Amino acid sequence: ANGGAGGRLCVEVGDVVGMLDLGKLSRRYIGEAVEGSGLLSGERLGEIYAGLSTGYDRVFDVERTFGSCGSGTEQFIDVAHVAVHGEGANQRVACADSDAGRVLIFNVESREFVCSVGESEGPGKLAGPCGVCFNDRGGLYVSDWSLNRILVYDVDGSYVRGFGSWGSGNGQFYSPEGLAFGSEGEVVVADCRNHRVQVLREDGTFVRSIGSYGQGEGMFQYPRDVAVGGDGSIVVADKGNHRVQVFTAGGEYVRSIGSEGNEAGQFLCPFGLAVGAGGEILVADGDRNDVQVFSSEGGLVQTIGANGDSEVDLDSPYGVCVDGEGNVFVSCEGQSGEGMVLMLS
């Protein structure tokens, strides 16, 4: 999942990708009001509240959608992760369609279909694309959980190279899912069925591995997505353990967020991740049908969903990402109708 600077976030939701504007989040419930003691003035309380503000206390709504459900050229059969790149008239959003064996790319401003990637016969043909990520030059990296490879395409969608094979060795994969670019330009991959995260150079050269199978700190059960913060920290959606884990850029364990459950701040099926400019962590949960926003320290800021602070109808959200202006894009597996990828503002 791509994370972006600014006030917007991208989120994948089911077969729909949505975009949210972080500048319009609603103020979330904190507690019941009680009679004041007079020890703090209104001015002082305002100063304290301003100090606690995260920039995410606003209401999100669907601004536009991309790609309907179907088997046509510009449609999705089943959406997976989503990524965004660029700005203005050149901004593009990409979403993987695992069942169709391709990635669809749309122009964000015009909503027009740009191209599909991975359908041509040859070494660049996709079988089960899942994760998508743009590099700073607009090149597209795609993880394929059927081929157990990472495939690279240029800005025009032409195949450049691929790396990886099935296995558990360094640089090998077993159902790779979400991927993101690290602070030094390295590729960070959620190696799902190997229960680890791998860090590689852009050409596929192995750098390091993080984690192993288990329930302890720094261990994983079927990690589904990764995101990288502005400080280089690596955030992992640890689906089988119903939590999100945070690591330093070097792979050292920092903290865990969440537990199993349907209460606020808990997870049932954390699929997608994004990191905002202030370090805020967005988590798309396919079974809760929402995206929860946490502070960089792990405190819940708000919930985006039918029963959340922002009442956006998300049906089985899968992927989420944010752009440089704080818009949030979400892909939803269960979404039907006009759009399967949502842009929230």
User: Per residue of the chain (345 residues), what is the pLDDT tens digit?
Assistant: 654 433 434 443 344 444 544 444 433 333 443 444 444 344 433 333 333 334 556 788 999 999 999 999 999 999 999 999 999 999 999 999 999 999 999 999 999 999 999 999 999 999 999 999 999 999 999 999 999 999 999 999 999 999 999 999 999 999 999 999 998 999 999 999 999 999 999 999 999 999 999 999 999 999 999 999 999 999 999 999 999 999 999 999 999 999 999 999 999 999 999 999 889 999 999 999 999 999 999 999 999 998 888 889 999 999 999 998 889 999 999 876 667 999 998
Write the CA distances from 87 to 91, 93, 262, 336, integer angstroms: 4, 10, 36, 28
- Give residue 308's identity as a one-letter amino acid code: G
Give the pair of three-digit tokens for residue 16.
């729909």
In a domain, 144, yes or no: yes
pLDDT computed for residue 29 by the predictor: 37
* C-alpha span between 252 and 156 (Å, rounded): 37
In a domain, 32, yes or no: no
Distance CA 241, CA 248 (A): 20
In this structure, the chain runs to a length of: 345
Number of domains in the chain: 1
Residues 107-145 as b or e (16 or more Cβ within 10 Å = b): bbeeeebbbbbbeeeeebebebbbbbbbbeeebbbbbbb
Distances (CA, A) of 179 to 17, 201, 269: 17, 13, 18
pLDDT at 63: 93
- Cα–Cα distance list, 274 to 116, 179, 185, 283 (Å): 24, 11, 17, 7
In a domain, 250, yes or no: yes
- pLDDT at position 339, please? 75
Cα–Cα distance, 283 to 256 (Å, whole number): 13
Three-state secondary-structure class, residue 81:
strand
User: Which residue(s) pair with 134 in the sheet?
Assistant: 140
Name the pairing type of β-strands 341-344 and 16-21. Answer: parallel
Enclosing H/E stretch for 169: none
1 domain residue, yes or no: no
Residue-level pLDDT at 222: 99
Residue-level pLDDT at 309? 85
Q: What are phi and psi of 60, to 5 degrees?
A: -100, 150
Which tens digits make up the pLDDT trace of 46-101?
A: 333 333 334 556 788 999 999 999 999 999 999 999 999 999 999 999 999 999 99
Q: What pLDDT is stored for residue 335 in this prediction?
A: 75
Q: Residues near 282 by Cβ (< 8 Å), separated by ≥ 6?
A: 9, 11, 272, 273, 274, 275, 276, 291, 292, 293, 294, 320, 322, 328
Alpha-carbon separation of residue 212 from 188, 197, 222 (angstroms): 15, 9, 10
Asked whether residue 35 is domain-assigned, the answer is no
| Range list of H helices, 290-331 | none
Residue 295 burial (10 A CB sphere; 0-12, 13-18, 19+): middle
Which CATH number do you get for residue 328? 2.120.10.30
**Confidence (pLDDT) at 272:** 98
59 domain residue, yes or no: yes
* Residue 239 backbone phi and psi in degrees, to 5: -55, -50
Q: Nearest-CA neighbor of 177 among 272, 92, 106, 105?
A: 272
* Cα separation, 248 vs 58, whole angstroms: 29
Collapsed DSSP state (helix, strand, coil) of residue 43: helix
- Please give the residue range of the domain that contains residue 115: 8-27+44-344
CA-CA distance, 221 to 88, in Å (whole number)?
39
- Identify whether 36 is part of a domain: no
Contact present, 128 and 146 (Cβ < 8 Å): yes
Q: Is residue 3 part of a domain?
A: no
Please tell me whether residue 268 adopts helix, strand or coil conformation. Answer: coil
